[in-house]
Structure 1
């Protein structure tokens, strides 16, 4: 199967109808095309064409599910920001690999400012939260300079589409 390679910096033109389609799909990626077409007041052929265009251009990377982690017993979502010091490339890679491979870790991001690295993870309870935090702090204590953690208590808005 041939894939088109899209440069990340390549801007794709979308119109108001494309944005409307994306917003609906953001809330329900499994919506039938006929229902989607009715909601955006376009023919189902036009909606199908627009969807293919959005997928081919890389605007839609994949269709996925948004899992309710609380239903699976994960009630705590935490973000950790840390700054590092006195590290070798080998030790940095070890930290990075540890976080990337950890089943509870949701995101790992290199950041700028007072901190170097941000990661987020899910925990079932405060004991698991403390265990994960303590394990990372202990395992990488020689290279972690500062550590700041945040626990989400309530999300008021989630928007994948900043347009």
Structure 2
């Protein structure tokens, strides 16, 4: 679908900060509030704007740190549906946050979240690896997030107090 320049500009603004008031967006693009509301409703109805998300640094919430793993999956595609069928089976699991078709040594990249490493291991061994089309998996545990979806974590968290010594 071909979008107008203003629609693309609004998408860029919303992608960077989905909580901006309509009034602010309207001023930024030089349009009326009503025009911006109409454009956003159009983009939502066309599923170009799919969802509004919040990024949470769960490491800072005691007892809710959890474990995130990236799993490389090698699969056998099915005739007529390619990778879509197995990808759909995988993304329906509640633990799965993302599924991507990849080029390279593995076919799919799956991002999952669990409370513990054991929970992630159980998912891989009991649910993912047992699917008919799955040939092999390689699991990578995320140890620390530095940047996620354009947001830098721990930016400006260092202690800025002046050291005073006797």
Say yes or no: TM over 0.5: yes
Distance across 1 between alignment mates of 2:86 and 2:123: 13
Q: TM-score, normalised by structure 1?
A: 0.61
Structure 2: gaps spanning 5 or more residues:
151-166
Residue 65, structure 1, aligned to residue 57, structure 2: no
Residue 127, structure 1, aligned to residue 155, structure 2: no
Moved over 4 A (4+): 92-98
- 2:105 aligns to what SS in structure 1? coil
Q: Would the aligned equivalents of 1:74 and 1:123 in 2 still touch at CA under 8 Å?
A: no
Give how far 1:104 is off: 0.8
Equivalence map 1:10-159=2 (5 Å) = 10=1, 12-15=2-5, 17-61=6-50, 63-66=51-54, 68=56, 70=58, 73=64, 75-84=66-75, 99-136=90-127, 139-140=130-131, 144-152=134-142, 153-158=144-149
- 2:18 aligns to what SS in structure 1? coil
* Higher share in helix: 1
Q: TM-score, normalised by structure 2?
A: 0.61
Partner of 2:155: none
Residue correspondences, number? 144
Structure 1: gaps spanning 5 or more residues:
1-9
CA displacement, residues 41-97 of structure 1 (integer Å, 9 cap, x when unaligned)? 433233224324434554323x43335372582532222112135x99xxx999656
Q: Would the aligned equivalents of 1:81 and 1:118 in 2 still touch at CA under 8 Å?
A: yes
RMSD of aligned alpha carbons: 3.8
Give how far 1:122 is off: 0.7
